[in-house]
Every structure is written in C-alpha cells, then in structure tokens.
Amino acid sequence: MALGLTEASKLSNDILLQGVVETIVKDSPVLQYMPFIEITGNGLTYNRENVLPDIDFYDVGDTWNESTPTFTQVTANLKIMGGDADVDNFLKATRSNIQDLEAAVIELKAKALTNKFEDTFIYGDSSINTKQFDGLRKIIDTETPGSQVIAAGASGASLTLAMLDELIDAVKGGKPDMLLMNRRSRRKINALVRASGGMMETDRDKWGNFIQYWDGILIGVNDWILDTHVVEDSVETATTGGDCSVIYAVQFGEGALCGLTSPGHLTVEPVGSLETKDATRTRIKWYCSMALFSNIKAAALIGVQN
C-alpha cells in the first residue's frame, strides 16, 4: 500500500526522525503529495501498459476475435541516498545553551537531502550516474510515447494558457494532481491570468504557506528545474546554453507516479562518537527510487520561454 512520507513518520516514536521528515516534506511539494510503496528487496519489476486490447461489434454467430494488451516490463532499483552530520563535542557542550547545535546541523543536513531529492526527481539519470535513480525528465523522454512530450515551439516559445490546457489533457484517466515548474514559469502563469482579468485560486498548506491552483490543479515549485534548456526540432537536447524551461504534469498514485522505498522509509541513525575526532555523528539515509506505472500519467511541456 502506498503511504506518504509524513504519514509514515507518524508510525515511529522517534522524535528526531519526525522532525527530519517534517523539515524534508515542508520544503518539497513532491514529497508532500507523492505516495511511496514499501518494497522488500533492492528493486521492483512491474508491467507498464502499452496498448489496450481491441473491442468490436459482432452479429449473432460471428467468430469473435481475440486480442490482448501489450506491456513493457520495467525495473526500478532502490538507490542509497543520505549523508552524515558531525557535531563537534566541544561546540555542542559550550554553545548549545544559545541554540541546540546538534538539532541545527541535522536540520541543515535534512534540507540538503531535500535539495538532492528534488534535483534527482527531475534530472536523475542512471545511465550517467549509476548510483542515482531515473528522474522525471528521462522517464518521460525515453520510456513514454511522444504524445507525452509537448513542445511550445520548434525552438521554444512564450507560454500561453492554451499550452497549459494541452499539457493537462496529455495526462489521461483523470486530471493531473500537480503541475511542477520553476518560479519563472509560475510568475508567467500569474501574469497571464491577471492579463485575462482573472485571479489564481489560492489556499494554504498545513504549514500556513500559500499554494496556488490552475484549473483546480496544484502548482508545485521546484527550484531545480532550469531555465537554460535547449530545444531543437521539438526535442529537448540539452540543459545548458538555452533560455527554455519545462513544466511537468503528473498524477500520483499506485497506478501512476509513485515513490519506492525500503521498509521504514527514511531513517535517522545515531552513529555515536568518532574515533578520529572529538565529535558525534548522525547518519540520515534513505533507500528510495520512483516508478511510473502508466505512461499516460505524466507529461512534459518543453520549450517554455519567459
């Protein structure tokens, strides 16, 4: 069963772990809403639906034609993600009266983990770095049909609301749960809506932060989506040297885009005192990956210019 990272942390009585998870989730719209499936083993092999079987009309006595759906077998392997946080014992003893130094250092390590996950969620490529999982860009570009990649123009174009509608329509079987973009693209959407005489739908998340919706779909901001993509002949060829960005539409869930994790999800492990220096170490680690169970549950609008 898929379970969100926040809900999973509630199953633990570890206050430090719950604090780390809250820090991670608060800074990441993806981790707030994407559910995770716990898997036993080092990976998950699943069948991704390609083509549905045929259905036809028949007269009485006709011979019925048999047809079956086709699938592509995909394997998503768990990857090891994490880092160590060392706190000098002298500083901990002499300065914790002003601020809990150990808690501050662990919080910064948790934020660094959030940044790494957000970046890998978009640009992860196991063919370049075998230690990381494949991100959304590679999955959509190489593992889904061309209809899931929409080009704003042959070499990029300014965003329009009609382009957003086309992106949303590319996700089938229900509307996307999130439109994921960088801040420049969000500013452009706000400007387009205001120019049309409308206002964006807004709300607050559980931490009191303002969130926005377009057509009832949450707008998520990812600060790692670049503005320097190059688009040639309706294909995103590079991430440096251009002036284009990408907007992703994703549907979350066990039949759509879902995270994968080892049992227990993220862990915070006190390593203890170190031999080579007067410090105490805490290790934050997570065996994680992600899987797109149906190729029509995610789409990308490429070539988005300012």
Q: What is the CATH number of the domain that holds 84?
A: 3.30.2400.20
Comparing CA positions, the residue from 145, 177, 179, 141 lying closest to residue 161 is 179
195 Cβ contact list (under 8 Å, min separation 6):
none
How many structural domains does the chain have? 2
- Does residue 283 sit within a domain? yes
- Does residue 60 sit within a domain? no
Burial class (CB within 10 angstroms; exposed 0-12, middle 13-18, buried 19+) of 101? middle
Looking at residue 99, what is its pLDDT?
Answer: 64
What is the residue range of 29's domain? 2-49+76-131+256-292
16 Cβ contact list (under 8 Å, min separation 6):
106, 268, 282
Same domain for 191 and 226?
Answer: yes
Q: Write the secondary structure of 249-263 as one string of H (helix), E (strand) and C (coil).
A: EECECCCCEEEEECC
- Does residue 241 sit within a domain? yes
- Does residue 58 sit within a domain? no
Looking at residue 97, what is its pLDDT?
Answer: 66
- Does residue 238 sit within a domain? yes
Looking at residue 114, what is its pLDDT?
Answer: 92
- Does residue 67 sit within a domain? no
Check: CB of residue 6 under 8 Å from CB of residue 22: yes
- Does residue 63 sit within a domain? no
Comparing CA positions, the residue from 234, 177, 242 lying closest to residue 211 is 177
DSSP secondary structure, 189-250, as one string: HHHHHHHTT---EEEE-TTS-EEEEETTEEEEE-TTS-S-BEEETTEEEESSSS-BEEEEEE
- Does residue 136 sit within a domain? no
Comparing CA positions, the residue from 257, 241, 248 lying closest to residue 302 is 248
Looking at residue 8, what is its pLDDT?
Answer: 62
pLDDT in tens, 121-147: 999 999 999 999 999 999 998 766 567
pLDDT in tens, 31-60: 999 999 999 888 999 888 777 789 999 999
